[in-house]
Amino acid sequence: MIRTRPREQGEQEVQAPPKNLTRRVLTSRQTRLGLIMLLTMIVFAIVGPFLAPHSPTAVMAKPYAPPGDGLLLGADSLGRDIVSRILSGGANLTWMAIAATALGVALGTTIGLVAAFAGGIVDMLLMRVVDVLLTFPTIIMAILFISMVGPSRWILVVLVAIGLTPGMARVMRGSARPVMRREHVMWARTVGLSSRHILMREVLPSVTSPLMVEIGLRLMWSVVGLASLSFLGFGVQPPASDWGLMVSENKDGLAIQPLAVFIPAVCVALFTIGGNLFAEGAARVIGRTEGTRS
Amino acid sequence: MATEMTTKQAIDAVEPVKAPSRRRNRRATIAWLIVQRGLMGVVTLWCISVIVFVATQAMPGDVAHIILGAGATADQIAQLNKNMGLDEPLLTQYWDWLGNVLTGNMGNSLVSGQPVSELLSERIFNSATLTVIAMILILPLSLLVGLLAAVFRDRFFDRSYLGTSLVVTATPDFVLGSLVIAVFGTVVFKVLPPVSLIPPGDAPWQHPKQLIMPLAVMTLVGVTYLSRLVRVSFIDVLESEYVQLATIKGLSTRRILFRHALPNALAPSIPAASIMAAYTIAGSVVIEYLFGYPGIGSALVDAVAGHDLPMVQAIIMLMAAAFFCFNQLADVLGTLNKSR
């Protein structure tokens, strides 16, 4: 039934995969490239505001003025320096995406592990709540709340995190369920260790592989979500600078000043593609190595 | 998110059904499954209605203030409270609202004063047209691309296809759309209109040129998602023993692919197509706004910007209900596949 292709078999005999998960995942070129792209974009977004030659909100020239007069790429729809706006447009997106991912992953993992650990009625109730939340597309739910509360940055972070939580809970419950039947967890339960201790020390370390893949994926989704909300006008508010916002601000001047749309769009794309490369590469490495271990 | 949802939900759905009804015939199982799903659906939709209500009308703080803005006089606020019944207890408000929603009376738009259902009917028609045409393009294309990628597995076509789909999946819709507009609309080729304004009263297909770009973006996103699932299920089938046997028997490649592999590889893709239709609804907000297409998604953006509460409630209820229905459909289709 199970036929391993000869080439793959040969490879595995030559070099056993490293035991350490991080090092094992980084053996793949795809994951390394993804991680490098992610880190580059994060560093660019954090350092960018300090390198900006002008204030990102100051009006320097006529709308859509061509390059010149100390403006390297010209001016945007309101006559502000495009270079400065690009350099300072990633900071908000980056911290908000990272915060939303951290919050969403933490919440989702907690719910998933508790559901798998408790089982029975608790499991059923939690999963029903997750089902209901899953019927709401993240972006629609975010728009619903923003329509009344207004787009404050922390509310955006919380909304995106809530959007990430149900999917995360599903995945973590799925991977934690088989772990619950392993000997070390059964032992810990019999001995009577506290639930908290069992979940943190016995179960969590056994589900780090899916966790790593999910973090990459969820980071990508939060960047996509936050940038899309900014693009729709429900995210970071003008006059602050933001890549998603820049695309919608300057899209009417696409014919005159295409770079004002193009560069921010590519910045967002590089960020999300990096996350996806990392997640898919990691998933492939983990699938290949852990499938053969057990 | 989408794929993991179907398989998991399908497994969840199978478990409770299996035990009591293993002996019963298959039709009873399906009927029971549909009843169960239907009940679950009613409960879920009710939960959605509560969420929508809580997020809008029952929001802490003065709803009338939010709608009218900071410059509203006390008279105006009192008038609005009275018109919308905002001065009544929340529970009464909720039951009134739910009753109205169930009878199709979504109230009047606060911006234009016309009934919401009237304003939305044309928008819904436009959005549905766009989605249906997109689905008609997506299904055969993803089948073709997925099949080719599976047949040429690990060769150049497959590698470049996987790379492209990884990039497209990760790129937000508005970025793809802006790039498409830049290339074909304004900067490089200037052959297509950069915005898709359909005059009110006209059917969208009377303006085919306006539809090309939004459809192109929707198709690109849809095909990259769906064809990957087709590819995986084709690879599974091609590695199965009966296809190997057919090869050994010396059947022609075409016969193996279309008579033996296709029906079996198609089955897992059908629920996925339904899931994709669900995600198209959420994605339509961004795409319609980007192209200025007069659909339900751009109506939502306008309604939120104009604090048009009844419009927001109606559109979000509609979208959530449609999204939910497609998801349930995918679930049932997936379970039927499994039980076969």
CA distance B233 to chain A (A): 16
- Nearest Cα neighbor of A97 from A36, A160, A5 is A160
Q: What is the pLDDT of residue A27?
A: 79
Q: Does A2 contact B at CB distance below 8 Å?
A: no
Angle, helices B309-339 vs B262-291, to 10°: value is 170
**Cβ-based neighbours of A152, under 8 Å, separated by 6 or more:** none
Residue from the list B173, B182, B320 with its beta carbon closest to the beta carbon of A258: B182
Give contacts of A233 with chain B, Cβ < 8 Å.
Answer: 301, 305
CA distance B12 to chain A (A): 10
How far is the C-alpha of B41 from the C-alpha of A157, rounded, in Å? 29
> What percentage of chain A exceeds 70 in pLDDT?
92
H/E stretch holding B189 reads none
How far is the C-alpha of A222 from the C-alpha of B8, rounded, in Å? 23
Task: Find where tokens 């478990």 sit.
Answer: B15
Could you read off the pLDDT of A208-220 as tens digits, one per residue?
888 888 888 899 8
Residue ranges in chain A modelled with pLDDT below 70 = 1-19, 291-294
**pLDDT confidence of B62, banded at 50, 70, 90?**
low
Q: Do residues A105 and A164 touch, judged by C-beta distance below 8 A?
A: yes
What residue ranges in chain A does DSSP mark as E strands? none
CB atoms within 10 A of CB A219: 27
Q: What is the pLDDT of residue A43?
A: 92
Q: Does A278 contact B at CB distance below 8 Å?
A: no
Residue of A nearest to B53 (CA): A144
Q: Does A167 contact B at CB distance below 8 Å?
A: yes
Could you read off the pLDDT of A49-105 as tens digits, one per residue?
888 888 888 887 777 777 777 777 778 878 788 888 888 888 889 999 999 999 999
Q: Which residues of B209-240 are buried (b: 16+ CB within 10 A; e: fewer)?
A: ebbbbbbbbbbbbbbbbbbbbbbbbbbebbee
For chain A, the residue count is 294
Q: Does A136 contact B at CB distance below 8 Å?
A: yes
CA distance A58 to chain B (A): 26
Q: What is the pLDDT of residue A97?
A: 93
Q: What is the pTM of this model?
A: 0.83
Give contacts of A275 with chain B, Cβ < 8 Å.
Answer: 170
Mean of pLDDT values over B246-267: 79
| SS percent in chain B: helix, strand, coil, step 5 | 80, 0, 20
Beta carbons of A221 and B1 less than 8 Å apart: yes
Q: What is the pLDDT of residue A4?
A: 47
Residue of A nearest to B167 (CA): A273
**pLDDT confidence of B60, banded at 50, 70, 90?**
low
How far is the C-alpha of B336 from the C-alpha of B304, rounded, in Å? 40
Residue of A nearest to B300 (CA): A143
Return residues 233-262 of A near B (CB < 8 Å). 233-234, 244, 247-248, 251, 254-255, 258, 261-262
Q: Do residues A109 and A200 touch, judged by C-beta distance below 8 A?
A: no
Residue from the list B179, B300, B323 with its beta carbon closest to the beta carbon of A135: B323
Which comes out higher in pLDDT, residue B269 or B160?
Answer: B160
Beta carbons of B186 and A144 less than 8 Å apart: no
Residue of A nearest to B327 (CA): A135
Q: What is the pLDDT of residue B50?
A: 87
What one-character DSSP code corresponds to residue A202? I
CA distance A22 to chain B (A): 22
Q: How many helices (H) and strands (E) does chain B have?
A: 14, 0
Kindly report the CATH class assigned to A25-57+72-291.
mainly alpha
How far is the C-alpha of A247 from the C-alpha of A265, rounded, in Å? 7
Q: Does A208 contact B at CB distance below 8 Å?
A: no
How far is the C-alpha of B178 from the C-alpha of B183, rounded, in Å? 9
> SS3 for A71?
strand
Q: Does A41 contact B at CB distance below 8 Å?
A: no
Q: What is the pLDDT of residue B1?
A: 36
Give contacts of A3 with chain B, Cβ < 8 Å.
Answer: 239
Q: Does residue B9 register a pLDDT over 60?
A: no
Residue of B nearest to A220 (CA): B170
Give contacts of B286 with chain A, Cβ < 8 Å.
Answer: 139, 228, 231-232
Beta carbons of B178 and A266 less than 8 Å apart: no
Q: What is the pLDDT of residue B36?
A: 80
Q: Chain A interface, mutation test: which of B48, B50, B175, most A Cβ atoms within 10 Å?
A: B175
Give contacts of B56 with chain A, Cβ < 8 Å.
Answer: 144, 147-148
- Nearest Cα neighbor of B57 from B279, B307, B244 is B307
